[in-house]
Amino acid sequence: MTNNQHSLADRTVDALAVGRIAAGLLAWISPRLTAQVFGMSDAGQSAYSWRLFGVRDVVIGIGTLRSSGAQRRAFLTAGLACDVGDGAAGAVAMRRGDFKRSSAGAPVTVPVLAVVLGGWALRGLLR
CB 123 within 8 A of CB 77: no
Give the per-residue pLDDT at 100: 65
Pick the closest to residue 110 from 124, 96, 89 (CA basis). Answer: 89
The mean of the pLDDT values for the chain is 88
Contact assessment for residue 15 and residue 9, using Cβ atoms and an 8 Å cutoff: no
Where are the extended beta strands (E) located within 1-127? Answer: none
Predicted confidence at residue 35, as pLDDT, reads 84
Cβ neighbours of 100 (radius 10 Å): 10
The answer, yes or no, to whether residue 71 has pLDDT greater than 90, is yes
Mean pLDDT throughout 95-110? Answer: 75
Q: Mind listing the pLDDT tens digit for each residue in 41-57?
A: 766 678 898 999 999 99
